[in-house]
Amino acid sequence: MKTFPMFLQMQGRRVVIAGGGEQAAQKCRLILKTEAEITVLAPSLEPELADLHKQGKLNWQAGPICAADFSNAALVFIATGCPATDASLHSLAKTAGATVNVVDQPQLCDALTPSIVDRSPVVVAIGTEGTAPVLARQIKTRLEEALEPRLGDLAALAGRLRDRAAMRLGPRARRDLWRWVFAGPAREAHARGSERQAAQMIKQAIDTGEIGTDQQGAVALVGAGPGSKDLITLRGVQRLQEADIIFYDRLIDPEILDLARRDAERVYVGKAPGCHHWPQDKISGVLVAAARQGKRVVRLKCGDPGVFARGSEEADALNAAGIEYEIVPGVTAASAASASLGGFLTERGTCDTLVLSTGYSESQTANLDWINALRPGTRVAIYMGVGSAAKIADALVAAGLEDVISIDIVSRAQQKDQVISRCDASSLVETIQSDAILNPAILFLTWPQNVTKADATTDKPLLGQLGGATA
């Protein structure tokens, strides 16, 4: 970010607007939404500003402008409509040490005016660092449609009841309360105009503590996607924002953790193939322990928790302990890698069978079970197969498939340092070495529908042709 978004306290503070025309009136309308004291510097005022001055809503100074006129201002807007005059006034304002916004001259701006969705005290500001104001307005329009007009009144009601809730409820219960308020029947009642009913519902929930939640914690096994922050699902983001504690692996994009509550505890469990900083049984144990403490737990896994992520082992431990859990699907690496190649996992007439496999078996030795599935019209996606590349290549060559199977390799799919390569079985190891390909990577082995192999019997398992060796 080149700019840092922040909300400024404006009550009783001085805002100076230099200019008396329509541009100045636009900035004045904006600041009138706050409780700031407005001073307009201009030789004359257009009708709207003149009327506001008569109503006592702004101060007007018609004389010559000097640097002292900008002193002690929380914010200065320069909006005369003349670029040369604006530049001169900008220099005076900066001499006074002011924070300045010059209309339509972003290079002279210390502060940029965002598009605003106003549901005071709920305020959403949308900025594009001055690059795309039309886009900011489009986003504003969508948010205006999404946020009900009375939402600010509900937030203000919640604010008035915060002390009451703090006296009667503990931290976890308070979070559950406000989650229920803003996502349940109280908000629905308030949105349809039943403010009194909504207030009664919230007060009763505070006084009784009964909002339909269980003090035992719950666990969400959340798929974070293949790595890039923007490939996590909306439900995954929601669970992160609800979590009290998050257990995450080494392949998670650190920016994904920024989506969580700032006060959520983050625990790195550091799993890596063949080098687990945390054994699986220890991870399962801490998930159970945290949930028994009444915490909302997120187990954040790269890709999808149900695809080579050992999610079933954690689910089994939670089931055995009687802990409620939820599986939140994620974009698995094969889907991301296929998209990076500009293609699809299955294609009618070319590839109608998809097999997901892994380069390692449970004993961490090379896994060759996938070769049983290879036949025309099949694509095999091998996860974490770089370390087993030599054995994969040998298996394909031994089966006489080096000229039949095409191999696409995608390392760190959908990330900035993504690597894409293509080869055949005979050059697989050399390609991985020359292109410096490392895990996490997907190897796609594709046998197109229209490609035949004269000396291979497609209805006979290829593993049998290799003498049954599974390595």
List, by residue number, the catalytic residues.
249, 271
Looking at residue 3, the DSSP 8-state letter turns out to be S
b/e code 226-258 from CB counts within 10 Å (16+ = b):
bbbbebbbeebbebbebbbbbbbbebbbeebbe
Residue where the block lists tokens 């900025």: 127
Contacts of 167 (CB under 8 A, 6+ apart): none
Residue where the block lists tokens 């149900």: 306
Two structure tokens written together for 168: 């009667």
Answer for the pair 330, 236: CB distance below 8 angstroms, yes or no.
yes
List, as one string, the DSSP characters of 241-283: HH-SEEEE-TTS-HHHHTTS-TTSEEEE----TT--SS-HHHH
Q: Please state, in angstroms and rounded to a whole number, the distance separating the CA atoms of residues 268 and 300.
A: 10
Q: Where are the alpha helices (DSSP H) in 328-421?
A: 333-340, 389-398
Q: Where are the alpha helices (DSSP H) in 343-410?
A: 389-398
